[in-house]
Structure 1
């Protein structure tokens, strides 16, 4: 068995391996694999390897590690946290120590680069999973025996409006909703930096750099002042967003809603649910009737709008 760095030459093989193991529930696409592995500036190359069977030259395993490495516009989110973005071994090569070897390689690389706290999934940006899929209890036990500690549970929610009337745009209550435009970039960036500093503001900077036009953001305004935002995604978005990763499972186009947030000075007036309704409205206008809200613990909140649990995940971490 050989270990080699991830390269574009192996992407097709990695997609094939992923779909052999996960394709029925988490179907992988070449564009998503490239975007979330090779395309992430926070990839930790020495902690990322492809396992190759020497006899067949077949890809039989993968581990991908990440750490905050992009020094961007003065942003610095620290290097003591790291992520194991993905760890995958072919079913026919399990119980031979390959998973252990890949995990140890990733942990050693993270530790050598100053990481003290490792998270499974939930990368700062361009992650595959927000945790370990709940459908894999054997994997969870395997990880727990290696020192990983269960932290929290999150879920993806789903709503199907195929037979429903189009969602109207919310009105009244002193707030208006509209899609952002390119000219809103500066104000939106400033709003996120002030109200939601961290990964949301960082991800939005990437959005504009990738050619975003604003159509992926619903803006809430009160008396002409921006008080909230909601990200919406579809197949035309400049980045494959996590709430539409698994859209190949559907015959019709899948839309995504989130992240979203309201300035804390304006909370308690129902604007949060209203901006989700506005997001659904704009996706309906594009002909999209199925939507996912990803990575949330707020089942009751979104349940008021008819969202139901779809996929569940468990977050884990380990102190090195």
Structure 2
């Protein structure tokens, strides 16, 4: 997310909602702003933009000379499992040459006002269903952090994306459960029972798109799962959103989890190690795991912090009214 905190002048161009024809321009704008650290491939952008959580009435853009120079996409709660009154700014990007001209401020006001009209009282940066980002990238410029602070937002826990180098070989760990990859219906049913809500919906959608769902079976029952993604999947899994930053054909793992009564038995490390071996057997050299606070846990298998973000939120009224 990029903007600028300098005193704004009137932004050039009329504010408007964005449509399908703007998709490539938004992707280009993102890559012009954040492409050095968070480059988006076309498939990753299409997966995010085409999400059923995207509402055209909550997408806003500003153009200058016929070219899009700023964009914001907001998301309001729309599921039974959504946190009531909490909305999200999923993307805010301003072209480098347009920063400091009030573009970000105009887009922010439009997005926050639209969220408030839908009953939102707390706005979070990222962390939305079908997210691009769990929070503000720690590598975002200082001006972006000042922009959000000026609008009443505060910063909280750090979330990480992790990288596991498979070139030395995949990790191993003792595990008495059997890995399977050929029964997505069983995994979908397991997740619906063990992780109802957001994960259950997302995993069912992954299965509907033909993505691989891995499971661990122990004593005849599914006890753990992981979604496994590769570059040839029909959609881009969340762990592969920024895979363009790596050469070759990175693979992704997650979401993943262990049934609550089976925790503490080594099955968490077991599903991660088994997933890494599964990908390695199919030629992957890099494995990405997104959005976690458990870097030390994954670090036991050799994973390192690759990208980091800080959660951020603020009260809508205060955020909208502060520093226009």
Shorter-chain TM-score above 0.5: yes
**Structure 1 counterpart of 2:149:** 144
Q: Does the aligned pair in 1 maintain the 2:55–2:75 contact within 8 Å?
A: yes
Q: Does the aligned pair in 2 maintain the 1:207–1:238 contact within 8 Å?
A: no
Residue 16 of structure 1, aligned match among 17, 20, 28? 28
Q: CA RMSD in A?
A: 1.8
Quote how far apart the aligned CAs of 1:76 are. Answer: 4.9
List gaps (5 residues or longer) in structure 1: none
Q: Does the aligned pair in 2 maintain the 1:45–1:65 contact within 8 Å?
A: no
Residue 133 of structure 1, aligned match among 134, 137, 152? 137
**What secondary structure is seen at the aligned counterpart in 2 of 1:105?**
helix
Number of residue pairs matched by the alignment: 303
Pair 1:265–1:76, CA change in 2 (3 A): closer
**What secondary structure is seen at the aligned counterpart in 1 of 2:15?**
strand
Quote how far apart the aligned CAs of 1:33 are. Answer: 2.5
**Structure 1 counterpart of 2:237:** 241
Residue 312 of structure 1, aligned match among 297, 308, 314? 308
**Structure 2 counterpart of 1:201:** 200
**Structure 2 counterpart of 1:58:** 67
Q: Does the aligned pair in 1 maintain the 2:169–2:280 contact within 8 Å?
A: no
In 2: Cα distance, 1:253 partner to 1:238 partner: 15
Quote how far apart the aligned CAs of 1:218 are. Answer: 1.6
Q: Does the aligned pair in 1 maintain the 2:161–2:306 contact within 8 Å?
A: yes
Q: Does the aligned pair in 2 maintain the 1:81–1:116 contact within 8 Å?
A: yes
Quote how far apart the aligned CAs of 1:319 are. Answer: 1.9
In 2: Cα distance, 1:275 partner to 1:282 partner: 10
In 1: Cα distance, 2:264 partner to 2:81 partner: 32
Quote how far apart the aligned CAs of 1:5 are. Answer: 2.1
Quote how far apart the aligned CAs of 1:249 are. Answer: 2.0
List gaps (5 residues or longer) in structure 2: 1-12, 317-324
Higher relative contact order (CA 8 A, sep 6+): 2
Q: Does the aligned pair in 2 maintain the 1:299–1:309 contact within 8 Å?
A: yes
**Structure 2 counterpart of 1:177:** 179
